[in-house]
Chain A
Amino acid sequence: MADATVNAVTTQAKRARPAPRSRLRKFFERKSTIAFFMALPLILLIFTLVIYPAFYAIYLTTLNKRMTATAWMKNCTYLPDWICTYIPFGNLQFLLTRETFWMVFWQSCLFAISAVIFKALIGFVVSHFVHNVPSKGQRKWRGMLLVPWVIPAAMSTLAWQWLFDPSYSAFNWILAQFDIERVSWTGVAHWARFSVILVNVWIGAPFFMIMYLAALKSVPDQLYEAAEIDGANWWQRIWYVTLPMMRNIIAITALFSTIVTFANFDIVRILTAGGPLDRTHLFATWSFRLGIEGGDIPLGATVSLFMVPILAVAAAFILRDVTRRGNEA
């Protein structure tokens, strides 16, 4: 793209100013040339460290574990010959036939969907409570409620790990006071999944709260007054005034969060490291386990590429929303 731009600009420059005198200098004084050079570091960064690695990941998936040869499929006579012998889907085939992969797939979806729903619900409810409070005190509440988002996720997950600790656990101590049997928070599959989702909701809900609060503030008070005069009850005010006015922000926040949650790594890695028996692995943590710890980079890359379709759908929706609003503005 860099070359193309320079060429395009050069031809333009030639056409506009045929005078040969200091043509090069003229070219460097052009607004678009200066602009291009100002944006050049950004372009280089994106191309070498984001776009190139993304395509390199696709190439990596075609290699075998030692990255010395292509990973062909095995025993695939049930497929058409051109797929079986000519397309290097060995890693993909290996994954799709493994039970763990389907477990991780299901867990990632469960994790992302349930966490985003709960974050959105809690964020919505809390933002209403903050909005209700007189604006003098709002700052204080908002400040307190955003703390989980500010603490680095790795640090707060450590605190949760200690709260969940099986023998000295602060939660189990409370349960013991009520004569309830202690819970193995990170040791049993369904409790471990619950814990991981809980921590994610704890970290992410404040972000939803702040976004929804910003949206609530942008709803004109007259609308509520009009609705109240018309006799709308509390529920009708939310359903017919608040929700339609906030629809955009609700959607875009949820989509953002879906991307981040689906690709989450820190929480599961620290809290359970994927255990017990891979029952909490997500795509990100499993690809780390396979790729970095297991030394099979191609297989890990194949796992992580499974995130792409869902991320692409969410990104497409966000982009549609953002450009649409950009046009309105």
Chain B
Amino acid sequence: MTTTTVDKAGPTRARPKYGSMKRDRAWALRWSYFFLSLFAFFFLIPPIYMFITSLKTSAEISAAKNPWWVFNPTLSNYVELLTSPAYIGFFKNSAIVSVSVVIITMLIAIPAAFALSRMRFWGSATLATGVFLTYLIPETLLFLPLFKMFAVFHELTGIQLLNRWWVLLVVYPTLTVPFCTWIMIGYFASIPKELDEAAIIDGASWLQTLTRVFVPVALPGIIAATIFAFTVSWAQFLYPIAFTTSIDQLVLPVGIITTLIKGDVFNWGQIMTGALLGAAPPLIIYAFLMDYYIAGLTAGATKG
């Protein structure tokens, strides 16, 4: 490759064009901005359109006017939703479920990751691999057996789990714990061994080593895992639609789809408002903690 270039450049161009590389780069930059704007536009159309529609009245939505513009902006959709007890109920259910799942996940994942990365016991290596494999099992494979299991559980013990919102506290950890454990193992493994050895020598118990040394040091990892657990449980759709049906037990995504769509009547103004408000918590977290969010996203494959 080298020789051919030299040959070509040698006889034909006696004097090289200085600064051509710089000009090339300037053009590459301009094209990059152009295409990035194009892609950003494509990526942002749906949220923008959600916002546009959320400001319209039903009359304006069904009028044959330009759908991309708001002629008479109104906040009535927001007011209506935020005063509707059903919607507030969905929001509350979602919030309770997501926050509890985050707490449960952390209580399970952090000690387990500590044990698997530092303390080792019979089968711990196999278990670490198993945790990763569990993360790869999709929920669409498990919802039917789980549904039947909960029905059988009801017959045996009389405790009804189906159509109760707390059933989600039981099933969501299967989605969040394996991944959180996996990335916490990665974070804990990157902590120097001298640190916990020093703690042990100073007379700390294993539990103290975990809470006083590892948790503070691995805090960025814990934040990333928390964000992951929260967004996954906030966005989960299959389990709530399969396991809950009564309006007061629904979480946000299912609630919007089952209650705001009445038969064939789509009240699009309200649906878009509901969806936008439902998308707000993850978006706000993302806006403020983007670096942690991205760290958690890339950790699964790059930290391995």
Contacts and interface: CB of A to CB of B under 8 A. Distances in A.
Interface string B261-281: 000001010011001101100
A66 B254 CA distance: 27
Contact of B33 (A133, A145, A148, A165): A133
Sorted nearest first, the 10 A-B pairs with minimum C-beta distance are A231-B5, A263-B138, A152-B235, A35-B119, A284-B140, A154-B253, A32-B121, A42-B112, A159-B46, A53-B145
Contacts of B124: 35, 39
Contact of A9 (B44, B122, B127, B174): B122
Nearest to B34: A129
Chain B CB count within 10 A is highest, among A41, A50, A125, A128, for A50
Given A126-B36, A152-B253, A50 B120 contact: no
Given A158-B272, A301-B145, A263 B140 contact: yes
A155 B253 contact: yes
Contacts of A192: none
Interface in A131-172: 132-134, 139, 141-156, 158-160, 162-163, 165, 168-170
A300 interface: yes
Interface stretch (A78-86, A94-102, A180-188, A205-213): A205-213
B279 A56 contact: no
A158 B157 CA distance: 39
B5 A318 contact: no
A128 B241 CA distance: 39
Given A155-B276, A173-B67, A231-B4, 18 more contacts: A1-B123, A32-B121, A35-B118, A49-B171, A50-B142, A60-B148, A128-B32, A129-B32, A144-B43, A145-B40, A146-B294, A150-B286, A151-B282, A210-B298, A231-B9, A269-B237, A305-B141, A311-B137
Interface string A231-261: 1100010000000000001001100100110
A57 B144 contact: yes
Q: How large is the interface on B (under 10, 10 to 19, 20 to 34, 35 or more residues)?
A: 35 or more
Contact of B177 (A42, A128, A152, A307): A42
A31 B206 contact: yes
Given A5-B121, A202-B43, A231-B1, A266 B301 contact: no
B271 A151 contact: no
Interface string A209-229: 011001100000000000010
Contact of A132 (B21, B29, B138): B29
A202 B237 contact: no
Interface centre among B44, B149, B304 (most CB of A within 10 A): B304
A168 B257 CA distance: 19
A264 B238 CA distance: 10
B61 interface: yes
B235 A154 contact: yes
A253 B242 CA distance: 29
B302 interface: yes
Given A156-B279, A263-B138, A315 B45 contact: no
A292 B122 contact: no
30 contacts: A5-B121, A32-B122, A36-B115, A42-B112, A42-B177, A43-B127, A46-B178, A49-B174, A50-B137, A142-B294, A146-B290, A150-B293, A152-B279, A154-B254, A155-B253, A155-B256, A158-B257, A162-B53, A162-B268, A265-B140, A265-B238, A284-B140, A284-B238, A288-B143, A288-B238, A297-B147, A304-B141, A318-B136, A319-B129, A326-B304
Interface string B33-53: 101100110111111011001
Interface in A26-61: 31-36, 38-39, 41-43, 45-46, 49-50, 52-54, 56-57, 60
A50 B43 CA distance: 35
Contacts of A34: 115, 119, 206-207
A89 interface: no
The residue in B4, B276, B298 that gathers the most chain A C-beta atoms within 10 A of its C-beta is: B298
Contacts of A231: 1-2, 4-6, 9
A160 B146 CA distance: 31
Nearest to B151: A297
